[in-house]
Chains A and B, each alone.
Chain A
Amino acid sequence: DIQMTQSPSSLSVSIGDRVTITCRASQSISTYLNWYLQKPGKAPKLLIYAASRLQSGVPSRFSGSGSGTDFTLTISSLQPEDFATYYCQQNYNMALTFGGGTTVEIK
C-alpha cells in the first residue's frame, strides 16, 4: 500500500491566517492526489483533485500544489467555516489510501 503522511496532525490558527498543510506519499504518485475537508459529525467534502484542480464551488482561497511525493494544501486567509479536519487521498493505484488528517483549530 502507498502510505500517506500528513503534517502537522493539528494546528492552532487565527482568522485571516495563511495555513499550509503537507501530505507526503511513500512513493511517487505523480499528481494523483485529492484533498477533503471534514467538519465534526459531517461527511467529508472534496476540495481539490488531481493535486491542484479546485472542485466546482470551492472558494478560491483554497489551493493545492505538488507532484511526486510531496503535496501542499494552502488556505490563503482562514475563514471561520474553515475550522475542520483535512485529509489527503491518493488514487495512483486502486488500493486507495487516505492520510491521517490535519485538524485546524481556533487559536
Chain B
Amino acid sequence: QITLKESGPTLVKPTQTLTLTCTFSGFSLTTDRVSVGWIRQPPGKALEWLALIHWNDDKHYSPSLKNRLTITKDTSENQVVLTMTNMDPVDTATYYCAHRGIYSNYVWFDPWGQGTLVTVSS
C-alpha cells in the first residue's frame, strides 16, 4: 500500500523560504519510472501543479514558479523535499505531495497525501 504524508510549517512570514517534506512508503524512488510530485490548492480554489521529481533525478517545474522552486529527494529516507522561496500571502494554500502513476506514456497522480495547510502572514 502506497502512502504519503506532508510535513512542514503551518505559518511562514512573507519573503521567507518554505520547506516541505513528503515522507512516503510502499514504493521506492530508486525504482524505474517512479516519480513524486507536489500540487497546491489555495483555499476555495483549483489545484495547481508545482513540481515533479523522477527516479533518475530528472526534475520538472511549473513554468510560472520555476524560479522559486527546488525539489530534491532522499532515497535513503524515502522523502521528497520542496522548497519555495520568497513566500507571499498569495502562496497560502494546502500543499499536497502525490505518487505519479504511469501507463505507457500516460501519467497521473495517485495516491495523494492528506495535504498540509501553509499560511503566509506577517
Contact = CB atoms under 8 A, between A and B. Distances in A.
B46 A101 contact: yes
Interface string A59-95: 0000000000000000000000000000101010011
Interface residues of B, number: 27
Interface stretch (A10-18, A19-27, A49-57): A49-57
Interface of B is mostly: strand
B68 interface: no
A8 to B, nearest CB: 14
A94 B101 contact: no
Interface string B37-73: 1010000001111001000000010111000000000
Nearest to B58: A94
Most chain A CB neighbours (cut-off 10 Å) among B60, B105, B106 = B106
Contacts of A97: 49
Contact of A43 (B46, B48, B60, B115): B115
A46 B101 contact: yes
A89 B108 CA distance: 8
A98 B112 contact: no
B106 A49 contact: yes
A45 B108 CA distance: 11
Interface residues of A, number: 25
B46 A50 contact: no
Contacts of B48: 98
Contacts of B63: 1, 95
A82 B115 CA distance: 21
Interface of B: 37, 39, 46-49, 52, 60, 62-64, 96, 98, 101, 103-115
Leading 6 A-B pairs by shortest Cβ distance:
A43-B112, A46-B110, A96-B49, A98-B47, A94-B60, A50-B106
Interface of A: 1, 31-32, 34, 36, 38, 43-46, 49-50, 53, 55, 87, 89, 91, 94-101
23 contacts: A1-B63, A31-B106, A36-B47, A38-B47, A43-B98, A43-B111, A43-B113, A45-B112, A46-B101, A46-B111, A49-B103, A49-B106, A50-B104, A50-B106, A94-B60, A95-B60, A95-B62, A95-B63, A96-B62, A98-B46, A99-B46, A101-B46, A101-B47
